[in-house]
Structure 1
Amino acid sequence: MTPGHVGRTYRDSTPWWPQPPTPREGAPDVIVIVLDDVGFGSLGCYGSEIATPTMDALAASGVRYTNFHVTPLCSPTRASLLTGRNHHAVGMSLLSNADSGFPGKRGTVTHRAATLAEVLRDTGYNTYAFGKWHLAPMDQTSAIGPYDQWPLGRGFDRYYGFLEGISDQYHPELVQDNHRVEPPRTPEEGYHLTEDLVDRAIACVSDHKSVGPDKPYLLYLAMGAGHAPHQAPEEYLRRYRGRYDEGWDVIRQRRHARQIELGVIPPGTALAPRNDGVRPWDELPGDERRVAARLQEAFAAMMEHTDAHLARLLAHLDRLGTRENTLVVLLSDNGASQEGGPLGNTNSIAYENGAEVPHADNLARLDEIGGPRCHGNYPWGWAQAGNTPLKRYKQNTHAGGVRAPLIVSWPGHTPPGGVRGQFHHVIDVTPTILDAVGAEMPATRQGLAQLPVHGVSMRYTFDAPAAPTRRTTQYFEMYGHRAIWHEGWKAVAYHERGTSYDDDRWELYHLDDDFSECHDLAAERPDVLHELIGRWWSEADRYDVFPLDDRNFAERAARYHSAASPRRRRSFVLYPELSRIPGGVTPLIYDRSYRIDAEVRLRAGDEGVLLSQGDVNGGHVLYLAGGRLHYEYHHHGTRYRVHGDRDVPPGEHTLSVVLTRTGPCQGVASLAVDGRPASAKEPLTTARYLIGWQGLVLGRDALSPVSWDYPRGFAFTGVIDRVRIELDDDGPETVHETFD
């Protein structure tokens, strides 16, 4: 019964006001900073030569963890980070780009696993998210949603950032709350996403503390750095010119020595041998070294630039006088990325299509690396240096993929300059924060029974550097790579895609004595190995790991079986008022025949873009210029152009491009005006899975440009009534299955 009493008049009534949830007195503000693809040895306080004074100062004011682990990929780590549960168990085995049709592989976080934001908001916190999300299914990120897996649907009051797993730092596809917005400035005006995110975070904290100074908040700040594309302002790029000419072998050795000096790895830790495919730096031809060094310079510049803007945020807390009661957690989501390939690349979409950018193409773009015209990623050698002293990379379950930096700073609670060696995992972060703020994960929420929390609080380590870990077991799995840690031992199996899992060779390491997994004890201790393998199968069954699936995300994302997916359609009618259609919702034009018809009304001299999709990595655009129709299709650095052979007069017209598939990833494209041929048939090759990261718009080429053949943006000056897209059913099996 509700307290109070309602009588006939206020004189014989007793008022009552419901009380909002109230955090415990003195509950701290919480800031969680997530770096992307930043390996164990990539920060100054973990042995790197990269200038990260802000993050180093955080470590000096708190504790660094040297035995902290994550999943080997971004979406799964974020799902575990925000829920305190294992990623397969909540439905995020891989990325939010794909739903494979199995419980552990939905590409979404079940509502039976409440997020940290949901719990803290229910407790009375305000909750804010900025930056990368990558937890909403990509085919649910358009204007029609559904929105229940967007940040505001998972417990955050406000959001500003990007929903995809990757973003151009100069031309991001931004979302504010539940709608898409344009960047506030252009690169020519000094825009960079990192600065924008920190500006928004600072403004948000100012709003919060001005209106509710005694109310705590959760700020989740997920940076794009250091995920490819590695992009930074020119002044930061210049700071690193020539700094990596000595190569990855020398840099790795220096980082290794520095890590021992700092105490983040034990004395006597071996420096892992070069990963397969990593050549000695001195054996690389001179031009390959030039490109590789420049790509690493861009990564380092991006990290220093990020650090400088994190300094602004922390200085703002000092200005407000709130830093002393702020719990700051900083981590990376996985190890350094192998997605640049053996040579590195200047086109981040190539990897997703199983292609390698030729060295000559990389060399030709040397001076564009780090800037807005290039999506660069460093080669394997620099990725392994990022993971010093460890083996392998992001995507793998060896330490290079799963051992990551973690810094926790909470004045008065974390002893300054502490180093902690207890084994912990990303599922332990939410329990730690809940412990610190005095909240608990509910048994039920909004009528749904909640999964048990799989992690444990790390708070016991703050004041007890020598305390034994409160973890006993943790499994790992990604793309069929498998591992398990149990009471100091680790068994790990590297899996070659497409081979039998029964052929995988399990390795065994005693991590208490072998930090870098260099001494395989499988032959010496088959009893321990056998026990750990059996334990892995048991844990995998317990946490919904099965079925094992070694397909890459592009292969899985090519199959959209859900009846609700907008990508099941073969026929689309688009209207000029639409907002940007994100890449995960665009028509599946890949490796198939299609036709695009733009119904327009022209005056003399009208020109501009009719439809564009993609970015500097790849895309296609239909446009009118010089009185004639044009079409450009490009991917992996190769540009194909089809030019109209006659003028288009004023009036109402249907302007068309027709692409006919002639073989696997091959076709011919031609133009038509009002159904009549208006160009020759031009042969071209097509993208296999993805053409570009950015989505589709009508009437302009916004953000990262698809073509350089017209002025930036090139807004259409005529009238577009509608654009029709028709897809044929002549693609390969992966495309056919999309519509089964």
Structure 2
Amino acid sequence: MTAGPVGRTYQDSTPWWPEPPRPREGAPDVIVVVLDDVGFGSLGCYGSEIATPAMDGLAGDGLRYTNFHVTPLCSPTRASLLTGRNHHAVGMSLLSNADSGFPGKRGTVTHRAATIAEVLRETGYNTYALGKWHLAPMDQTSAIGPYDQWPLGRGFDRYYGFLEGISDQYYPELVQDNHRVEPPRTPEEGYHLTEDLVDRAIACISDHKSVGPDKPYFLYLAMGAGHAPHQAPEEYLRRYRGRYDEGWDVIRERRHARQLELGIIPPGTALAPRNDGVHPWAELPEEERAVAARLQEAFAAMLEHTDAHLARLLAHLERIGTRQDTLIVLLSDNGASQEGGRLGNTNSIAYENGDEVSHADNHARLDEIGGPRCHGNYPWGWAQAGNTPLKRYKQNTHAGGVRAPLIVSWPGRVAGGGVRGQFHDVIDVTPTILDIVGAEMPRTYRGLAQLPVHGMSMRYTFTDGATPTRRTTQYFEMYGHRAIWHEGWKAVAYHERGTAYEEDRWELYHLDDDFSECHDLAAERPDVLHELIGRWWSEADRYDVFPLDDRNFAERAAMYHSAASPRRRRSFVLYPEMSRIPGGVTPLIYDRSYRIDAHVRLRAGDEGVLISQGDVNGGHVLYVAGGRLHYEYNHQGTRYRVRGDRDLPPGDRVVSMIFTKTGPRQGVAALAVDGRSAGGKEPITTARYLIGWQGLVLGRDALSPVSWDYPRGFPFTGTIDRVCVELDDDIPDTTHETFD
């Protein structure tokens, strides 16, 4: 409707109202559920013994895809999922924890690639994001932003979740919209992040349908499960006690047989041989088996717990009468994780620093696995079972890293119980949804010319499972591992970190006949292999894959920060009124000398935490207790304690901890009051790249505790004026260091 004439008064003017944007008639509500590190063979409807009845129900009234592919890592998959473009092309080659200084490795999603939320919002949808984000550069996630890569800056109307790639399920660092908030309850009060996220999802949908019942919404629900730490309520942990004592060999064979029975894998599909480093279960020492089984129990309990709360969400849709009009897409972001190592581990920071948790340390924490005191991750053997029948894992470009479960449910529009074998990729999800709602990616968005959409709609598969795939080619790359799929063939190269790429051996598989990549045809069909390798280099050049980089993400994150990054500073003055500083913005104290000076006002009997950073995995804390100053450095669970040797006098004081580096990743810690020695000189071994996942706060230890030596939280009862952190320049030059 065009504007009517506007006269001097309303009597000689014609009113008009602009038409709001509207999606296609009958456009559905859309919910995209993203699981984390859940391998191809981990859901009940994909052959697992883990109880996932809600997800199985979605598959029962919808479609299961068996040839669906993702990137081998979380941030890249999410970038591709939300934009419909290849991850290097939008700037997310690896994780959003580092900008390596190259176009494809910015650790952020370029604004030249609008997200589905940005497009749907302009089409007339409301947009909600809940859970894991991991698409904003970590040094841009503090209270000063910038906020343009936070969910609200990328098209979502509301957000509640965590910005990092990993979260403690009992003590999450939560963000609501553009500000940080504390969890609504404690673990002692029954808090768990999965329950909280589903509560928020139900609340968002209820708000939406109560006020705008005819307006559709897009809900992006990115669960923490099943990324480590694997944590679940005790009742769920108890359900799996003893169920994995038979070991990964037996479980993997059962899943393989079940997949054949369900038609999830083609008849005759071989079970891939054990990955390197995975030992037969029967050959493991009894105590190793006990720890490994307990770690798998925690993963299974977490996945079943997640499924139970997804069932709550589905029941809510049924209750309000909108389930029939809701398109639900459920997928995992990559294959099962190898990050637990050969033995599994009970400290996720150790993995990031390149260290293995010893079996003795794991076994000592056996009864803590799955609970709030432990960040556990299962060993390689269980990860391979999670990827049944495939080889390798998350981070790799073999099928175990990139072939993932995908379920599409849309009652009345998608045939129930179908299995689809067409090759598709995560870049195809956004084009599919846009096709359904009648929207298109714009050529220009907010003044910026947009990258072309690299994916295509999968809608043609909804009604016809026999139609050949319309895809022809898809490349893969992660940490130097490379692969390409083209018209049913796949060439793949596993890369050993630190070696020359020319030394990598390319394998060749005809996936139409070899689902699990077991029969290498490289020697038999060198002509096909040569053509595919050349095609990979061409695709890599086209999508900004270069330069290849095989360094660990923590190593990159410790080195590369833009000139504007707060992590480039050596001097910090912190005030008690500040909100939590996330881990990606905290002072870089790693492998260098530093000091902490807390300017405080003390009364007799005052005590509590002055400054804390980190969590149960690792961190450090300066606090007052028993009238004396204390410092604890938690290095991957090994705790170094420094206790003051004299009482603190009341009044205005400067209490200090001075760490002096004495060698690579080691030094001594000393305490001081008003510049005078107050004890210490204790030797400490320090972190290499990461001290802990959680951030820094003043005046308390509010979430996952750094220390067990004081009451939970332990708020400071005196007055903090400010805390100063000074970093020395004796940090090593690691610009060209290789990760070992």
TM range (shorter): over 0.9
Matching residue of 2:552: 552
Match of 2:568 in 1: 568
Contact 1:729 1:736 in 2 (8 A): no
Deviation at 1:561, TM superposition (A): 3.7
Q: Take 2:358 and 2:641, find their aligned partners in 1: how far apart are those partners?
A: 21
Where 2:200 maps in the other structure, the secondary structure is: helix
Give the corresponding residue for 1:337. 337
Q: Does 1:164 align with 2:164?
A: yes
- Name the counterpart of 1:389: 389
| CA displacement 1:151-193 (0-9 Å, x = unmatched) | 0000000000000000000000000000000000000000000
- Once residues 323 and 485 of structure 2 are traced to their aligned partners in structure 1, the CA distance between those partners, rounded to angstroms, is 36
2 CA distance for matches of 1:647 and 1:7? Answer: 81
AA aligned to 2:65 is: Y
Return the alpha-carbon distance in structure 2 between the equivalents of residues 183 and 522 of structure 1: 53
Report the 3-state secondary structure (helix = DSSP H, G, I; strand = E; otherwise coil) of the residue aligned with 1:196: helix
Report the CA distance between 1:671 and its aligned residue: 0.3
Q: Which amino acid aligns with 1:729?
A: D
1:503: which partner in 2? 503
Which residue in the other structure is 1:256 paired with? 256
Structure 1 segment 309-458 matched on structure 2, within 5 A: 309-458=309-458
Deviation at 1:15, TM superposition (A): 1.5
CA distance in 2, matches of 1:472, 1:418: 23
- 1 CA distance for matches of 2:258 and 2:363? 32
Normalised to the residue count of structure 2, the TM-score between the two structures is: 0.99
- What is the aligned partner in structure 2 of residue 201 from structure 1? 201
Q: TM-score scaled by structure 1?
A: 0.99
Residues 558, 734 of structure 1: 8 Å contact kept: no
Report the counterpart of residue 665 of structure 2 in structure 1. Answer: 665
Report if aligned partners of 2:98, 2:561 keep a CA contact under 8 Å in 1: no
Measured in 1, the distance between the counterparts of 2:630 and 2:551 equals 37
What residue in structure 2 maps to residue 585 of structure 1? 585
Match of 1:631 in 2: 631
Structure 1 equivalent of residue 466 of structure 2: 466
Question: Counterparts of 1:723 and 1:418 in 2: how far apart (Å)?
Answer: 60
Paired with 1:653 and 1:114, the residues of 2 have a C-alpha distance of 52
Any idea what the Cα deviations from partners look like across 1:509-548, whole Å, max 9, x if unmatched?
Answer: 0000000000000000000000000000000000000000
Report deviation, 1:4. 2.1
Name the SS of the counterpart of 1:681 in structure 2. Answer: strand
Which residue does 1:236 correspond to in 2? 236
Measure, in 2, the Cα distance between the counterparts of 1:82 and 1:702.
33
> Aligned to 1:370, what secondary structure does the other structure show?
coil
Give the whole-Å Cα distance in 2 for the aligned partners of 1:51 and 1:219. Answer: 25
Cα distance in 2, alignment partners of residues 735 and 421 from structure 1 = 45
- The residue correspondences of 1:43-192 to structure 2 (distance < 5 A) are 43-192=43-192
1:736 shift after superposition:
11
CA displacement at 1:248 relative to structure 2: 0.2
Which residue of the partner structure matches residue 34 of structure 2? 34
Q: Distance in 1 between matches of 2:21 and 2:148?
A: 23
- Deviation of 1:680 after TM superposition, in Å, equals 2.8
- For residue 233 of structure 2, what is the amino acid of its counterpart? P
Shift of 1:88: 0.2
Give the secondary-structure state (helix, strand or coil) at the position aligned to 1:558.
Answer: helix
What's the CA shift for 1:2?
6.4
* SS of 1:92 mapped into structure 2: coil
Q: Aligned AA for 2:143?
A: A
Matched, 1:600 2:600: yes
Given that residues 665 and 688 in structure 2 are in contact (C-alpha distance below 8 angstroms), is that contact kept between their aligned partners in structure 1? yes
> In 2, distance between residues paired with 1:735 and 1:176?
36
**CA positional deviation for 1:431:** 0.5
Larger deviation, residues 85-94 vs 1-10: 1-10
CA contact (8 A) 1:571 1:725 kept: yes
Secondary structure, counterpart of 1:572 in structure 2: strand
Distance 1:48 1:680 in 2: 54
Equivalent position SS for 1:679: strand
Cα deviations by residue, 1:228-249 (Å, 9 ceiling, x for unpaired): 0000000000000000000000
Q: Distance in 2 between matches of 1:651 and 1:697?
A: 23
Size of the aligned set, in residue pairs, is 737
Residues in 2 aligned to 1:297 and 1:480: alpha-carbon distance in whole angstroms: 33
Contact 2:101 2:560 in 1 (8 A): no
Paired residue secondary structure (1:226): coil
Counterpart residue identity of residue 378, structure 1? Y
- Secondary structure at the aligned position of 1:642 is classed as strand
Per the alignment, residue 4 of structure 2 pairs with 4
In structure 1, the residue matched to 2:732 is 732
Distance 2:78 2:229 in 1: 20
SS in structure 1 at match of 2:468: coil
Structure 2 alignment gaps of length 5 or more: none
Query: What's the offset of the Cα at 1:560?
Result: 3.3
Tell me the secondary structure at the aligned position of residue 64 of structure 1.
strand
Q: Equivalents in 2 of 1:519, 1:736: separation in Å?
A: 38
Tell me the distance in 2 between the aligned counterparts of 1:609 and 1:20: 53
- C-alpha distance in structure 2 between counterparts of 1:15 and 1:25, whole Å: 27
Give the C-alpha shift of residue 24 in structure 1: 1.6
Q: Note the C-alpha offset of 1:564.
A: 1.1
What is the CA–CA distance in structure 2 between the aligned matches of 1:501 and 1:673, rounded to whole Å? Answer: 55
What CA distance in whole angstroms lies between the structure 1 residues aligned with 2:564 and 2:18?
40
The aligned residue for residue 215 of structure 2 is: 215
Q: Give 1:541's aligned residue.
A: 541
- Aligned-residue offset at 1:83: 0.3
Task: Tell me the amino acid that sits aligned with residue 456 of structure 1.
Answer: M
Deviation string 1:592-634 (CA, Å, 9 cap, x unpaired) is: 1000000000111000000000000000000000000000001
- CA–CA separation in structure 2 for the residues paired with 1:715 and 1:707: 13
Deviation of the 1:222 alpha carbon:
0.1
Q: d(CA) in 2 for partners of 1:699 and 1:705?
A: 13
Q: Secondary structure at the match of 1:620?
A: strand
Aligned to 1:274: 274
Structure 2: distance between partners of 1:735 and 1:132: 30
Deviation per CA, 1:553-602: give whole Å up to 9, x if none: 01111123411100000000000000000000000001110000000001
Shift of 1:735: 8.0
Q: Would the aligned equivalents of 1:611 and 1:698 in 2 still touch at CA under 8 Å?
A: yes
Q: Deviations over 1:15-67 (max 9, x none)?
A: 22222111122110000000000000000000000000000000000000000
Q: What secondary structure sits across from 1:49 in the alignment?
A: coil
Task: State the secondary structure of the residue aligned to 1:485.
Answer: strand
Which amino acid in the other structure matches residue 345 of structure 2?
A: N
Give how far 1:7 is off. 1.3
Please show how residues 681-692 of structure 1 align to structure 2 within 5 Å: 681-692=681-692
2:718 equivalent to 1:718 = yes
Rounded Cα–Cα distance in structure 1 between residues aligned with 2:15 and 2:136: 43
- Counterpart of 1:107, as a letter, is G
In the alignment, does 2:694 pair up with 1:694? yes
Structure 1 segments unaligned to the other structure (5+ residues): none
Distance 2:360 2:60 in 1: 44
Aligned residue for 1:152, secondary structure, equals helix
SS of match in other structure, 1:215? coil
Please give the secondary structure, in 1, of the residue aligned with 2:734.
helix
Amino acid at match of 1:434: L
Q: Distance in 2 between matches of 1:119 and 1:562?
A: 30
2:302 maps to 302
Aligned partner letter, 1:507: E
Structure 1: how far apart are the matches of 2:325 and 2:182?
35
